[in-house]
Amino acid sequence: MKITVEADKCCAGGQCVLAAPEVFDQRDEDGIVVLLTGTPDSSQYDAVREAAQICPAACIHVTDN
Amino acid sequence: MTPGSNDWPARVVVVGASAAGLAVVEAARGQGYRGELTLIGDEPHLPYDRPPLSKQLLTSDWSPERLLLRERAHLDELAVAMRLGQPASGLDADSREVVLADGDRVPYDALVVATGVRARRLPGSDGISGVHVLRTLGDALALRAELTPGRRLVVLGAGVLGAEAAAVAQGLGAEVTVIDPLAWPLARIVNREIGDWLADIHRERGVDLRLSSAPVTAIRTTAGRTEAVELADGTVLPADTVLVAIGATPAVQWLAGSPIVIGGREPATGSGGVLCDRRGQAAPGIYAAGDVAAWQDPATGEHRRYEHRLNATEQGRAVARALLDPDFTPPPSVPYFWSDQYDLKLQTFGTLDADDQFTVVDGSLHARRFIGVSHRDGLVRGALGVGMPRQLRAWRTAVADRAPWKETTPA
């Protein structure tokens, strides 16, 4: 699995962090998404897919290898 | 039930190809559903996002292509039959068919209503050149073309849409007047203290914000084009362009005569949505999600609609689970909302009712960077943040749990 984010689309809602806190975080100053890893462990796949689906700005993209 | 269960509906039809409808088909495939999926949409476009219509699209920072919710390749992988540019005109629940505007009939075993809302129009304003609403991509592009320096724009309504569009237009150099019969902007979402604070910001930027305004009596025209907005108190506001941002009504007309019950009516407009139980079911085999849906709130028993972007996705995902699993109960939801105005981002979790107590717990309104918490009877009901998104998220659990109110940031 490979994750990419479009940070300029991010609405800083933090829903991705709620879904997958080991993969996503938010910048302190403006809450914009921070990708902690672009290639997460397989144990995180379901949480990452949920984060991508739930993102209200549709700025998280997941590609399965 | 296990994936591929014989109890699963063979054909799932989703009417409405926006955020909620997309979430249904995406989540159904995610659950292992391999049956026929059909997505019907009245607009010709692939599913696109609406919040940027009054933000990045209106400023011209983004092209329309950036609004697409998913790339075409991703949609192809979902194997969904798309019927776009084709409004549903009726529902024949006896024969389990959706009737399309061109007369075609689409059979279903399970149906999801995700038709969203339509912009309310000002009576008598149809056909007047220069009078706009803002709900679709086409609406936004038409309005955008008129927002040029010096243009006199009158915005009817200081709700989220009107306030965001006013901020964009002011930034583009238009002369902006906003009128609203209510006493503060975003009155359905924020309390008076925040509303007054926001009103000051709009005025500081140069917007002529007229609150507690008399109602509009007419749009004055010359050669079929808007010239001025007339109010009941005799005020005449010159207007080269008018944006009607007076709310929206659920798109349920096509359901007339079907067994679907319309309810959860709002006192202000009388408009109701598709009445659903707490799993989003409206009738046997029929579900609804997103702006159009009035789900029952398990905590209060009341039916309520939310025109919030996150709600569309959450309900769409929940409906996909519910129609495949009769034992599924959606997890509790925390309403989330955001609005961008000028360089400010407002965010809320939960609700901020006008008669709740409101306490600023971090930062200050003066600094335009703060978190305020709404509480009643000693319990947390909502939190609003400006410029502190990460810190605001820490309050979400307290809002979800209706935790006892105390003025310390949760761990």
- Domain membership of residue B50 (yes or no) is yes
Q: B78-82, B188-192, B297-301 — which is least confidently predicted?
A: B297-301
pLDDT in tens, B227-246: 999 999 999 999 999 999 99
Question: pLDDT over 70 for what percent of chain B?
Answer: 97
- Domain membership of residue B329 (yes or no) is no
Q: Give B310's contacts in chain A (Cβ within 8 Å).
A: 13, 15, 54, 56
pLDDT mean over B123-132: 95
Domain with residue A23: its CATH number is 3.30.70.20
Q: Which of B227, B246, B265 is the last residue of a domain?
A: B246
**Structure confidence at residue B207 (pLDDT):** 98
- Domain membership of residue B36 (yes or no) is yes
Q: Is the pLDDT of residue A21 over 70?
A: yes
**Structure confidence at residue B353 (pLDDT):** 87
| Residues of A at the B interface, defined by Cβ within 8 angstroms | 9, 11-15, 17-18, 26-28, 30-31, 49, 53-54, 56-58, 61
**Structure confidence at residue B44 (pLDDT):** 97
The overall average pLDDT reported for chain B is 95
Q: Is the pLDDT of residue B3 over 80?
A: no
Q: What is the spatial distance between Cα B239 and Cα B221, in angstroms, rounded to a whole number?
A: 10
How many domains are there within chain B?
3
**Structure confidence at residue B411 (pLDDT):** 56
Q: How many CA atoms lie within 13 A of B309 on its CB side?
A: 23
Looking at per-residue confidence, does B319 or B266 come out higher? B319
- Domain membership of residue B280 (yes or no) is yes
- Domain membership of residue B332 (yes or no) is no
B214: which 2 tokens?
């008399």
- Say whether B313 and A56 touch across the interface (CB within 8 A): yes
DSSP label of B73: H
Q: What is the spatial distance between Cα B117 and Cα B288, in angstroms, rounded to a whole number?
A: 13
Please count the residues of chain B.
411
Q: Is the pLDDT of residue A15 over 70?
A: yes
Q: What is the spatial distance between Cα B188 and Cα B194, in angstroms, rounded to a whole number?
A: 12
Q: Which of B246, B264, B297 is the last residue of a domain?
A: B246
pTM value is 0.95
Residues B178, B242, single domain; the answer is yes
Q: What is the spatial distance between Cα B242 and Cα B374, in angstroms, rounded to a whole number?
A: 35
Residues B149, B192, single domain; the answer is yes
Q: Is the pLDDT of residue B34 over 80?
A: yes
The chain A residue lying nearest B385, using CA atoms, is A13
Residues B54, B22, single domain; the answer is yes
Residues B18, B113, single domain; the answer is yes
Inter-axis angle of helices B160-171 and B192-204, to 10 degrees? 20
pLDDT mean over A23-48: 96
How many domains are there within chain A?
1
**Domain span including residue A32:** 2-63
Q: Give B309's contacts in chain A (Cβ within 8 Å).
A: 56
pLDDT mean over B327-350: 94
Residues B28, B173, single domain; the answer is no
Q: What is the spatial distance between Cα B330 and Cα A1, in angstroms, rounded to a whole number?
A: 27
Nearest-neighbour CA in chain B from A37: distance (Å): 19
Nearest-neighbour CA in chain A from B349: distance (Å): 10
Q: Give B338's contacts in chain A (Cβ within 8 Å).
A: 11-13, 56
- Domain membership of residue B185 (yes or no) is yes
By CB neighbour count within 10 A (0-12 exposed, 13-18 middle, 19+ buried), where does B7 fall? exposed
DSSP label of A60: E
**Structure confidence at residue B408 (pLDDT):** 73
- CA-only gyration radius of chain B, Å: 22
Q: B198-202, B251-255, B329-333 — which is least confidently predicted?
A: B329-333
**Structure confidence at residue B7 (pLDDT):** 86
Q: How many CB atoms lie within 10 A of CB B284?
A: 8
pLDDT mean over A23-43: 95
Confidence of residue B300 (pLDDT cuts 50, 70, 90): confident
DSSP line for B197-212: HHHHHHHHTT-EEE-S
**Domain span including residue B86:** 11-118+249-324
**Looking at the complex, does the CB of residue B369 fall below 8 Å from at least one CB of chain A?**
no
**Structure confidence at residue B269 (pLDDT):** 66
- Domain membership of residue B1 (yes or no) is no
Q: How many CB atoms lie within 10 A of CB B108?
A: 22
- For chain A, the first-to-last Cα distance in angstroms comes to 6
**Looking at the complex, does the CB of residue B313 fall below 8 Å from at least one CB of chain A?**
yes
pLDDT in tens, B53-90: 999 999 999 999 999 999 999 999 999 999 999 999 99
**Structure confidence at residue A64 (pLDDT):** 84
Residues B100, B184, single domain; the answer is no
Q: Which of B246, B276, B310 is the last residue of a domain?
A: B246
Q: How many CA atoms lie within 13 A of B148 on its CB side?
A: 4
**Structure confidence at residue B354 (pLDDT):** 84
Element holding B274 (H helix, E strand): strand B273-276
Question: pLDDT over 90 for what percent of chain B?
Answer: 91
pLDDT mean over B298-326: 94
Q: What is the spatial distance between Cα A37 and Cα A60, in angstroms, rounded to a whole number?
A: 13
Domain with residue B374: its CATH number is 3.30.390.30
Residues B360, B372, single domain; the answer is yes
